[in-house]
Amino acid sequence: MTVRITVAEDPPLRRIRVEGRLTAVEVGELDEVVGLDAGAVCLELSNLRSADAPALAALRRLRAAGAAIEGASPHLAWQIEEDEP
């Protein structure tokens, strides 16, 4: 297992903690946990060590759909903010 995804209900938000290394393999699982309303989600990334290109694209897409992102390292935050190649 490269990543651990855990969910904590913190009304009105659902906090989703992503820990480890997020890869394309786990993007579907992350999307399933987020569900249809990304605007009601806060992604806690303080223990996310790395993300490959498809995972970064998924994080960008979720942010654009309204998900809040907290705790990302400066380098990871920069990668999420940068435009897709």
Q: Is the pLDDT of residue 76 over 80?
A: yes
What is the rounded distance in angstroms from the CA atom of residue 34 to the CA atom of residue 29? 9
Q: Is the pLDDT of residue 11 over 90?
A: no
Chain-wide mean pLDDT for the chain? 93
Q: Is the pLDDT of residue 85 over 80?
A: no
What is the rounded distance in angstroms from the CA atom of residue 66 to the CA atom of residue 74? 20
- All domains in the chain, ordered by first residue: 3-81 (3.30.750.24)
- DSSP state letters, 14-68: EEEEEEEEE-HHHHHHHHHHH-S-GGGEEEE-TTEEEE-HHHHHHHHHHHHTT-E
What is the rounded distance in angstroms from the CA atom of residue 53 to the CA atom of residue 33? 20
> How many CB atoms are closer than 10 A to CB 28?
10
pLDDT at 51: 96
pLDDT at 1: 58
